[in-house]
């Protein structure tokens, strides 16, 4: 069963972390500010998205909270009255933004967190800040940004020994932890020398993660009908866990997501390297709301015929796409 249509809106390619699977430590060539979609342009696309049947918005990055005036965008999108308005963040700045985000109309947050250990966090993210994330979770809960979700990318030999710790953490903190398979984006190629080129042994498949959890906590119970890209389970003790398996068990048939990059490139899939240039449609062709809605509707039609091809040859950059 397919879920509601979702538009993921990446507002920046900038980030205050340098995670080993995403961005080289030295950083990358970033888009000039005038090449980014303005908040007014994003608002117009949001209105068109509602006309095209999209009911949920996800604000992403890079790290969305580093973009100046992000609260203004949240306010604009919240006024559109979609079914759900959420934000995905690494959590470093979230503690200070949580209350303002809620006041602006944000409904919930998802926090990317790949380890619970301070020394390991600094090796994976190549920055410090783990305690800031723990504080952010508390502040988000107090602000009413719920339910809180945690996204955890599992990498063999890096953090796969923390799977059970994350399940316990999720139960203790009453958050849903989603384990994500490592994907072969450009961060694992020449830009990320620490891991070298895409190396299949780094991949921990979803069924392996599930087996490890069940060995410790007993059988996982389907928590809701299969919908969208995540398979959600619950342990007998009540902990909620999710599995997102783009490599081992492709979920293309259940995917109802479009991804809007910070520079206006609309992609029908994480692995769509061509995309549609919405910035050009807006600035050069002066597309209005109706024309933009037609483009978005056509993009969903293209998804029905989409073949993502050989993932190992992907040259995409997650920090520009918004995962």
Mean pLDDT (whole number) for 58-70: 96
More confident position, 193 or 271: 271
pLDDT of 189 reads: 43
Total length of the chain:
323
CATH of residue 167: 3.20.20.70
Helices marked H in the chain = 39-51, 70-78, 94-104, 118-125, 130-143, 163-173, 206-217, 278-283, 289-303, 318-321
| Residue 319: band (very low, low, confident or very high) from pLDDT cuts 50, 70, 90 | low
Q: Tell me the pLDDT tens digit for each residue of 85-125.
A: 999 999 999 999 999 999 999 999 999 999 999 999 999 99
pLDDT of 60 reads: 97
For residue 67, give its domain range: 5-321
Domains in the chain, number:
1
> Does an H or E element contain 148, and which?
none
Q: Indicate if the pLDDT at residue 4 is higher than 70.
A: yes
Average pLDDT of every residue of the chain = 89
């Amino acid at each position: 069963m397919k879920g509601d249509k979702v538009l993921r809106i990446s507002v920046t390619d900038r980030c205050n972390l340098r995670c080993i699977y995403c961005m080289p430590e030295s950083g990358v060539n970033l888009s000039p500010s005038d090449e980014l979609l303005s908040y007014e342009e994003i608002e117009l696309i949001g209105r068109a998205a509602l006309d095209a049947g999209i009911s949920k918005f996800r604000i992403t990055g890079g790290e969305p909270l580093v973009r100046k005036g992000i609260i203004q965008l949240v306010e604009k999108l919240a006024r559109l009255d979609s079914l759900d308005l959420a934000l995905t963040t690494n959590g470093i700045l979230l503690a200070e933004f949580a209350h303002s985000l809620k006041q602006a109309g944000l409904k919930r947050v998802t926090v990317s967190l790949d380890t619970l250990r301070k020394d390991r966090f600094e090796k994976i993210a190549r920055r410090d800040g783990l305690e800031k994330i723990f504080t952010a979770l508390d502040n988000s809960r107090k602000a009413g940004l719920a339910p809180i979700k945690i996204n955890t990318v599992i990498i063999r030999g890096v953090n796969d020994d923390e799977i059970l710790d994350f399940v316990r953490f999720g139960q203790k903190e009453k958050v849903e932890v989603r384990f994500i398979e490592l994907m072969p984006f450009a961060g694992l190629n020449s830009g990320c020398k620490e891991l070298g080129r895409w190396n299949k042994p780094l991949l921990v498949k979803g069924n392996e993660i599930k087996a490890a959890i069940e060995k410790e906590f007993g059988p996982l119970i389907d928590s809701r009908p299969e919908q969208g890209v995540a398979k959600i389970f619950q342990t007998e003790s009540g902990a909620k866990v999710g599995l997102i398996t783009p490599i081992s068990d492709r979920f293309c048939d259940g995917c109802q997501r479009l991804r809007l990059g910070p520079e206006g490139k609309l992609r029908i899939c994480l692995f769509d390297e061509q995309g549609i240039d919405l910035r050009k449609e807006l600035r050069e062709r002066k597309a209005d709301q109706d024309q933009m809605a037609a483009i978005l509707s056509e993009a969903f039609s293209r998804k029905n015929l989409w073949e993502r091809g050989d993932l190992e040859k992907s040259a995409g950059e997650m920090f520009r796409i918004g995962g």
